Amino acid sequence: MKFTLAMLGAIIAAFIVGAFTPETSWLITVYDLIGTLFINALKMIVIPLVMAAIIKSLMEISVKESLGALGAKTALFYTFTTFMACATGLLVINWIKPGIINGVPGAEALGLPGVGAETLEKVTGRSGGEFLNTITNIIPPNLIEAAATNQILGLIFFSILVGVFLRKMSTPAAESLKSGISGFYELILSITNAIIYLAPIGVFALIAEVAATTGLASIKPMLVFMGAVMLALGLHAFVTLILTIRLIARRSGIRHLSAMTPALLTAFSTASSSATLPVSLRCVQERSYVSKRVSSLVLPLGATINMDGTALYECAAVLFIAQAYGLDLTIAQQVLVVFLSLATSFGVAGVPAASLVAITLILGTLGLPAEAIGLIMVTDRLLDMLRTAVNIWGDSVGAVVLARLEGEEEVLSKPPEDFKVGAAA
Ligand code: ASP
């Protein structure tokens, strides 16, 4: 467990060092530089890794097997867990009522009305059209543009097409293309391993920066809301999803949790599902023993469209703001919130703070002022780190469950081994 320990050590050390770094220190620039280099390296590798992994896993499935069944099961499973996440978020916020302060709607106590124009601009500049775009861009009109603007869903679609068609081809040219793709995939894996080797340093820098720049005073009025969101995320991650592994996959959720720790810590530090994907692919394949065939398809899809933590957070945030404004949402309105959270979590990009746009959209639909988003921005980074970890955890549970449904016996059959760091896969 040396690698996991190094990651944990880096995170704890970073919180301490960060807390003692003055907000004006030049060290913050250094943290920022190292952290950005690390995230850039992960992002650099994501597109070739995802495309090569998907094409390779599909082209290697024998022609006799059916492909659609796995896809349909994946979609069904992800929708189910996201729905459970939304329900948990709603229940906890309805129960704790963080928006009610001293028995009255807390808008004033929370300073809701006056919000900086600059925060507003960041979010309201984008609109619901963005989510519609996500749907239409599933078929990317221009591949290069899709890659350049990080539209992973479109690239996944294209890779699936390539894999599915290549699978049926057996001309000499197609065969050499297949072996070329396999070689390329091995190359990308080796580079990925080298980047992961540096993760403790990158993670240290990212967390130290957050710890140094997030003031405790600004978080204070939001503590109840933060606590409620953490409780709901915890319930979903540790009760619902662990039970799902037990009941459907018939395996130990705790063992899977320990296998996934490096990926969860990376998600926590980067607050980006797509940047975490290289690490979570490796954890699921090498430490939870899920086949490449299932994980190479289920995880990239999950990192893009399955966001349990995000959907839960959207529900929680909208309900919290409604409470603070004294608006009692009816059951029908709450169902609408769940539906919108589900739908938008599908379109939210796997990058930091992405769900704020979705929350603005839902607030608008309910007739609540979008300005309220400024309030939750204060605490967003910390909760973003947590919900991203839950997003990645949900994807990995999907990989385990689907692999088991596909009859894979080896999944979680033995304790995780330490990464052979730096070694080519
Ligand atoms: N940061 C999240 C992710 O990458 C998305 C969000 O909820 O803002 O998974």
pLDDT in tens, 290-317: 998 899 889 988 887 899 999 999 999 9
Which pLDDT value is given to residue 216? Answer: 66
Q: What ligand 1 atom has the least distance to the C-alpha of 275?
A: 4
Q: Which of 143-152, 337-346, 373-382 has the lowest mean pLDDT?
A: 373-382
Stretch 220-247: mean pLDDT, rounded?
94
21 pLDDT band, cuts 50/70/90, is: confident
344 pLDDT band, cuts 50/70/90, is: confident
The 10s digit of each residue's pLDDT in 323-334 is 888 888 888 888
Hey, what are 97's tokens? 């009522």
Amino acid residing at 21:
T
CA distance 378 to 226: 11
Hey, what are 400's tokens? 């385990």
Measured from CB, residues less than 6 Å from any atom of ligand 1 are 271-273, 307, 310, 348, 350-355, 384, 387-388, 391
Confidence check: pLDDT of 9 > 80 = yes
* Closest residue CA from atom 1 of ligand 1: 352
- Tell me which of 388, 390, 395 to substitute to probe ligand 1's pocket, judged by most ligand atoms within 8 Å of the beta carbon: 388
Stretch 191-220: mean pLDDT, rounded?
82
Stretch 129-134: mean pLDDT, rounded?
62
Stretch 148-170: mean pLDDT, rounded?
86
Q: What ligand 1 atom has the least distance to the C-alpha of 356?
A: 8
Which pLDDT value is given to residue 65? Answer: 67
Task: Decide: pTM greater than 0.85.
Answer: no
- Contact between residue 111 and residue 221 where contact means Cβ atoms under 8 Å apart: yes
Distance of CA 360 from the midpoint of ligand 1 (Å): 15
Distance of CA 170 from the midpoint of ligand 1 (Å): 41
Q: Where are the alpha helices (DSSP H) in 116-198?
A: 117-124, 129-136, 143-148, 152-167, 172-197
The 10s digit of each residue's pLDDT in 41-83 is 888 888 888 888 889 888 887 766 666 788 889 989 999 999 9
CA distance 106 to 321: 9
3-state secondary structure of 5: helix
Confidence check: pLDDT of 121 > 60 = no
CA distance 45 to 195: 9
Cβ atoms < 10 Å from Cβ of 189: 20
Q: What ligand 1 atom has the least distance to the C-alpha of 276?
A: 4
- Tell me which of 391, 393, 396 to substitute to probe ligand 1's pocket, judged by most ligand atoms within 8 Å of the beta carbon: 391
DSSP 299-348: HHHHHHH--HHHHHHHHHHHHHHHHHTT----HHHHHHHHHHHHHHHHHS
Stretch 263-287: mean pLDDT, rounded?
92
Stretch 178-194: mean pLDDT, rounded?
90
- The position carrying tokens 């662990």 is 242
- Tell me which of 46, 355, 357 to substitute to probe ligand 1's pocket, judged by most ligand atoms within 8 Å of the beta carbon: 355
115 pLDDT band, cuts 50/70/90, is: very low
Confidence check: pLDDT of 211 > 90 = no
Confidence check: pLDDT of 353 > 90 = no
Domains annotated for the chain, with CATH where assigned, are: 2-405 (1.10.3860)
Q: What ligand 1 atom has the least distance to the C-alpha of 388?
A: 9
